Amino acid sequence: MNRALPLLVANWKANLPPGEEVLLAGVIANDARRRGLLPGSLMIAPSALGLVPVASLLQREHASLQIGVAAQDVSALEPGAYTGETPATHLLGIAGAVIIGHSERRNLGETSTQIGKKVARAVAAGLMPIICVGDTAREATIEQRYAEVRAQWDELAGSAAQAGCSLTALLEAGTLVAYEPVWAIGSGASADPELAGGMAAAIREGSSDQMQILYGGSVRAAHAAPFFAGAGASRLDGLLVGGASLSSESLLDIAAALGSAQ
């Protein structure tokens, strides 16, 4: 991936069956070529069933676009007799990254301790983690939001460290931290860019100035650009997009707003 560009990560969640995911990936790739998408500025996270065919299509027919592929989750366990699990090493050659700790996984009971273990497995396997953190209350003070996210980060980073994955290892793996305010996801209204920038600074204060931060939460093209007005510790390095990524037009409109497509 071209890390000098804002990175757009499309999280398709479990919205489409795998055949439709392949079709959508093809449409996005063709539209991306037509609109001059800059190589390395887009990553797609299909469902578990769509991961292999989507990755195969992009590698086989659209390699020049350098569209990355991410898994939506990974196991905290090593390969073995664990029915239904997806070990990190089994993703090699298919996905280069993996989303870990999305709020929708937390809502199903996943803890920051488990997330840290998954992060350690991903890094050890050579995958780039996209670690999600976020505040939950629609009405809260800035200090309360910062404290909630910092607590999540401290717990998961501590868990990863106990599993042998240091902060240095996280940075070397190209780790991305996605700030996703849970109250904004699916609401149609994103967080204020100033809040997102402040959260980026708070995350870096608790980790490293070099940590790369994404924003995710009801992102639309009309209000994407202001998220990149920040500088220094409050800068953002990309966007994690959910619902808007299910349309090639809306996804590439966001890319255009970021300056990575026409």
Question: Would you name the residues annotated as active-site residues?
Answer: 102, 180
User: What amino acid is encoded at 55 in this protein?
Assistant: A
On the CB side of 28, CA atoms within 13 Å amount to 33
Give the helix ranges, DSSP H, for 3-141. Answer: 18-34, 51-61, 103-106, 112-125
Contact of 8 with 41, CB cutoff 8 Å: yes
Cα–Cα–Cα angle for 112, 114, 117, nearest 5°? 110
Contact of 72 with 45, CB cutoff 8 Å: yes
> Which residues lie below 8 Å from residue 30, measured CB to CB, with a gap of 6+?
none
Instruction: Tell me the C-alpha distance between 140 and 254, whole Å.
Output: 29
Instruction: Tell me the C-alpha distance between 244 and 45, whole Å.
Output: 13
Q: Which residues of 198-229 are buried (b: 16+ CB within 10 A; e: fewer)?
A: bbbbbbbebbeeebbbbbbbbbbbeebeebbe
Helix (H) or strand (E) holding 212: strand 212-216
Backbone angles phi, psi at 83, to 5 degrees: -55, 130
Distances (CA, A) of 129 to 55, 79, 201: 18, 19, 19
